[in-house]
């Protein structure tokens, strides 16, 4: 028997803000994505407004390389040629691309650093949730390091070594410290936090033309 979803209906209200272009050249475009904006169009009619659509209105040749969750802000890269798109895709697939995130977690996380190594898979009864799944999940690894502590929360830097859906959100939940403002995994925190407190702070990879390693950063907005 199918269980009813526990996830509230997703009310899509993307922010009306200008594009924040961090870097631009003939091969790539690097942007600072705002929270609340889809990277690519959703399946429903009212979810066509997204970052790639807004970008292509200004730079017609922009091509998607990877995605950030709708509620996550921060550094994201697009290609401007098919060749660049293929090269950058390989950077992510072969794990040559390195990403760091900053998050604010609920509660006082014990210790100063650590690694979460737990396989993840879809929670089909409660989509779009993901869950730790030791039987059928795909490998997922996240390093974490405490940046600071304040009453009732811990600020951490997260370095994922894999790119599973909702990886950082589920891995922090598995530690007993969900990310604040998470409408899926910590809806009780939405009273005080109107957005997901997760930001893609930096992205490091090789340039598709020069092959030089480049690092792009976006300031944490919270």
Query: Which residues are identified as catalytic?
Result: 69
**Does residue 85 have a cis peptide bond before it, meaning omega lies within 30 degrees of 0?**
no
DSSP 200-217: EEEEEEE-TTT--EEEEE
What backbone phi and psi angles, to 5 degrees, belong to 180? -65, 145
198-206 and 73-79 as β-strands: parallel, antiparallel, unpaired? parallel
Whether 115 and 100 have beta carbons less than 8 Å apart is answered as: no
Tokens standing for residue 194: 């109107």
CA-based nearest residue to 10, from 66, 67, 71: 71
* Closest C-alpha among 51, 25, 12, 27 to residue 200: 51
Question: Which DSSP state fits 126?
Answer: G
Nearest to 118 by CA among 56, 175, 37: 175
């Amino acid at each position: 028997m199918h269980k009813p979803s526990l996830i509230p209906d997703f009310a899509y209200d993307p922010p009306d803000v200008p594009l924040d272009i961090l870097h631009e050249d003939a091969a790539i475009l690097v942007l600072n994505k705002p929270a609340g904006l889809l990277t690519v169009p959703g399946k429903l009619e009212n979810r066509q407004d997204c970052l790639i659509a807004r970008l292509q209105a200004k730079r017609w040749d922009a091509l998607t390389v990877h995605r950030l969750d709708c509620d996550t802000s921060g550094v994201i890269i697009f290609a401007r040629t098919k060749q660049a798109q293929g090269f950058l895709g390989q950077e992510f697939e072969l794990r040559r691309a390195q990403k760091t995130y900053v998050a604010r977690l609920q509660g006082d996380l014990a210790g100063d650093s650590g690694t979460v190594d737990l396989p993840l898979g879809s929670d089909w009864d409660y989509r779009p949730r993901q869950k730790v799944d030791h039987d059928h999940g795909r490998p997922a690894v996240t390093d974490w390091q405490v940046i600071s502590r304040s009453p009732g929360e811990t600020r951490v830097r997260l370095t994922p070594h894999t790119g599973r859906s909702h990886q950082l959100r589920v891995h922090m939940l598995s530690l007993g410290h969900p990310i604040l403002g998470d409408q899926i995994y910590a809806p009780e925190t939405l009273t005080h936090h109107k957005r997901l407190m997760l930001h893609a702070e930096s992205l490091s990879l090789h340039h598709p033309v020069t092959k030089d390693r480049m690092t792009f950063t976006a300031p944490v907005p919270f």
